[in-house]
Structure 1
Amino acid sequence: MVETSEMGLLDFVALAADKLAVPGVAVGVWAGGQETFACHGVTSIANPLPVDPDTMFVLGSVAKSYTATALVCLAEQGRVDLDAPVRRYVPELAFPDGMAAVEITVAQLLNHTAGLDWRLGVDTGEGDDALAAFVAQMAELDLIAAPGARASYSQVGFNLAGRIVEKVTGLTFERAVAELLLAPLGLAHTGFFLNDAITKRFAVGHNADPEGTLTVVRQWKDTRANNPGGGVVSSAADLLAWARFHLGDGSGVLPDAALRRMREPTVELKGSTLGDAVGICWFIRDVVAVDDSAATVRTVGHGGSGNGQFAELLLVPERDFAVVVMSNAGPEHGIALNQAVVKWALEYYLGVVERVPEPLAFDAKRAGEVVGRYDNDLMTIAVVLAAAGDGMTIECRIKPEIRTASESELPPDLPPASFGLLPGDGDGYIVTSGGLNGQRGFFTRDDSGSIVGADLAGRFFGRVA
């Protein structure tokens, strides 16, 4: 995308942000025992202020790392058993499948193996009872798999994990996280509420209108019940401090051994952009270092998406390295920028390069098996043959009925993108254009060999007849 040789971090960030038309970006790197920050652009195109290391962005699902760490803290204090059933702490938990409510464990929430769907499209308000009301709504949620049977990324699971924090501590989720983590670590530019940010400098999101022009979004962040799964706001300086904490600087909050356990694989991921495995919340991937030995290097991280804002946090523990990126533009802009910065930083500082797999040549027979519609509670994937009949496109859209019913602003849909199947017998695929460029997933078959679902970004979509 942008030439990386003979270029420093700030130069690369500025050039990449301008090329991708991202209004503002904040980057932090920890390498060689030093912090380096590169900030470029503005907080808002409507009311612009320069982005700096203390500018607060919405982190989206990077928030899951705070929720998981809070539960690990409670486990170290002997107040939570991660292997215990969730019902020990949330006895009112219920599902249509009664046994599932009995069987799901705390640990399964934290590595996405509880069998829960991605999201639950309800808004339970901004009061202190938001999480309790959210969990009550889960009584209507069908599972996509038996607990422990497979990994499938779930916001619902982490919101339920947040309710465990509330029940065990007797505090609201946000106050518990502040007392367990934010205050002891001195993270003064990290919080959950508008009041945490409005007296400081903060970025707003931007999405493209139908003509492709970026405009300021009006919903700054998700609902309160989604705080455990996606509600943290933070700055580059604080997020890099959070990364350093997880590299082993426990700062008296957690012992190094507990932090290391969070980075150990608990379940394998199949054909996923998220990683090769899941630890306790963290996504784990082994990539190739080309600096001197072509050895495999393990990365540990998490990404996050908000309404017109995107964040990335990546650790390389064996190299004592971390990179964090936050940007304030929609997926075709922000995601591409974040990925480019992380890729550049890994190569520039560590000589580490992740090789992107090449799709197979178009095969009409295999294409015929996967063409169709797949959906979950909120979104639909359409896999369609290209007009010329020599390729396929994939389109991911929020369901029209969800848009119609929503009282809040939802991000725009992405246009169809080209994609191809990958070598091997695992039914893997890769998106090769558009805002999802580089995303990998796979198709799921039943015992008879028929394709019954598709995974995208770790989320399961069932095939629609």
Structure 2
Amino acid sequence: MSQEKLSDYVAAQAKKLGVPGVAVGVLLDGRESYASHGVTSLGNPLPVDEKTLFHLASVSKTFTATALMRLVAEGKVDLDAPVRRYVPELKLADEQAAARITVLNLLNHTAGLDWNLIDDGKGDRSLTGLVAKLPELPLIAPPGARASYSQAGYNLAGRIIEKVTDLPFEQAMTSLVLEPVGLSDTVYGLAEVMVRKFAVGHNRSEDGAVRAARPWGAFREGARGDNPGGGLASSASDLLRWARFQLGDGQGVLPTRALHRMREQTVALRASSLGNGLGICWFLHDLDGLQGIGHGGSGNGQFAELLIVPERNFAVVSLANAGPDGYPFNQSVVTWALEHYLGVAEQVAEPVPYDEDQARQVAGRYEIDAMNLDFATDGTRLTLAVEIKPEIREASDEELPPGYPAAAIGFLPGDGDEYIVTEGGLKGQRGYFSRDANGTVTGADLAGRLFNRAVQAP
């Protein structure tokens, strides 16, 4: 595959979707190729390149998990031990759950914790402060019962790293992972970001205009509580270095066996565009018989995607500085790279024809602490709208990213509870509805998270 073809595709997709700046990297058999397009910021433009920093958001979790695995390999942490062995002050809304949650439950999202605590900008915003607030976090399932993506769970895992190393989380991560792997442009905090070239996030408003997003990533002053789950900034070149590490023998940082253990399935996922299952942090993908391991991230006007195919010594990273269009841009780049470099063609799921009775069974509002999902039918199609709760927007003293307006979804063949988004910024996302013993729909999964049903449509 020629560099020119990669560059042409990246530029064409960025222009088509109106993304101001993108950076893409591909690794195949030790050879790196990069393609960048556009600018760091519409208001203060500099050309994007492979050294430009983007907010990684949840791709940060792969670093946190790897650091914890190093502590496991060194005998300082036991994956099967209760979290309270390392964070004895942990309290939750349910005492039995607090006593039972293990380190592995945090790393594969089976702790039963809801998505996250809402940051009100008040009080202690460190990891210590986060743990103190965890009794306020809803529990959505008993520990180990099911996977549901939890930012709070990974932030709690970061507190384990602090307690075991007796270092602030960011210093511990630098010592355990970032410096040994040679990731000089993978950093926490605005002070480190601002001395490097970085991409500004952008959001598209209802009038179609693209405007700079504020704040930059998750880097609000004094807010360190989200760093384990989403606080890193990095570049395309550093992320390919990270991929090389994951494809290698551990470089003395992590035994090869421990590195490979992170790729082994620990829990299956149903009808999820994130993957078929979870290893230790990594989402696992069946790519026409090849195993892919990957993780994505979505921040305020920035999106990141990393996919690695160990059997083919392959990796692709895609970074984009616009929401919501950065998500379909990254997905299209990954799909294109798999096809053109590895010959792996994506199998597109086809929904079944609209069924009014089926649509009415699921129509209504579903929620987590910060967001609402609204499924609605007009008698001809079923739609999904995703929005940050209005009360959260009103209470925030910061600009929050826009939601996703109503877009069509279709049910997939099978038992009738799995669906796929067929248009809009979430096109291609898959999920499913869950039912109680009586067959009543009680929840909806989207992006690996369980949203409990709050209101049934009349």
TM-score by length of 1: 0.95
1:317 lines up with 2:288 in the alignment: no
Pairing partner for 1:98 from 95, 99, 105: 95
1:119 lines up with 2:116 in the alignment: yes
Letter in 1 for 2:309: V
Root-mean-square deviation over aligned CA pairs: 1.5
Q: Give the C-alpha shift of residue 122 in structure 1.
A: 2.2
Secondary structure in 1 matching 2:290 = strand
State the match for 1:445 in structure 2.
435
Distance 1:134 1:461 in 2: 22
Q: Give the C-alpha shift of residue 55 in structure 1.
A: 0.6
Letter in 2 for 1:377: D
1:391 lines up with 2:387 in the alignment: no
1:407 lines up with 2:403 in the alignment: no
Distance 2:428 2:200 in 1: 26
1:150 lines up with 2:142 in the alignment: no
State the match for 1:229 in structure 2.
229
Q: Report percent identity of matched pairs.
A: 58
Letter in 2 for 1:446: D
State the match for 1:306 in structure 2.
299
1:139 lines up with 2:135 in the alignment: yes
1:347 lines up with 2:343 in the alignment: no
Distance 1:391 1:16 in 2: 29
Q: Give the C-alpha shift of residue 7 in structure 1.
A: 6.5
Letter in 2 for 1:85: P
State the match for 1:360 in structure 2.
352
Distance 1:6 1:184 in 2: 30
Distance 2:421 2:296 in 1: 18
Distance 2:130 2:286 in 1: 36
Letter in 1 for 2:157: A
User: Structure 2: which 5+ runs fail to align?
Assistant: none
State the match for 2:216 in structure 1.
220
1:452/1:356 Cα in 2 relative to 1: closer, same or farther (>3 Å)?
same
Distance 2:98 2:430 in 1: 31
1:248 lines up with 2:248 in the alignment: yes
Q: Is the 8 A contact 1:124 1:225 kept in 2?
A: no
Q: Give the C-alpha shift of residue 33 in structure 1.
A: 2.0
What is the number of equivalent residue pairs in this alignment? 451
Q: Give the C-alpha shift of residue 390 in structure 1.
A: 1.4
Pairing partner for 2:17 from 20, 42, 50: 20
Residue by residue, what CA displacement relative to the aligned partner does 1:137-183 show, whole Å, maximum 9, x if unpaired? 00122210000000000001000000000011111111100110111
Secondary structure in 1 matching 2:270 = strand
Q: Is the 8 A contact 1:205 1:308 kept in 2?
A: yes
1:168 lines up with 2:161 in the alignment: no
Q: Give the C-alpha shift of residue 404 in structure 1.
A: 0.8
**Matches of residues 238-277 of structure 1 in structure 2 within 5 Å?**
238-277=238-277
Distance 1:422 1:7 in 2: 38
1:77/1:286 Cα in 2 relative to 1: closer, same or farther (>3 Å)?
same
Residue by residue, what CA displacement relative to the aligned partner does 1:388-408 show, whole Å, maximum 9, x if unpaired? x11111111110001111122
Secondary structure in 1 matching 2:428 = coil
Secondary structure in 2 matching 1:416 = strand
TM-score by length of 2: 0.96
User: Structure 1: which 5+ runs fail to align?
Assistant: 289-295
Distance 2:234 2:122 in 1: 22
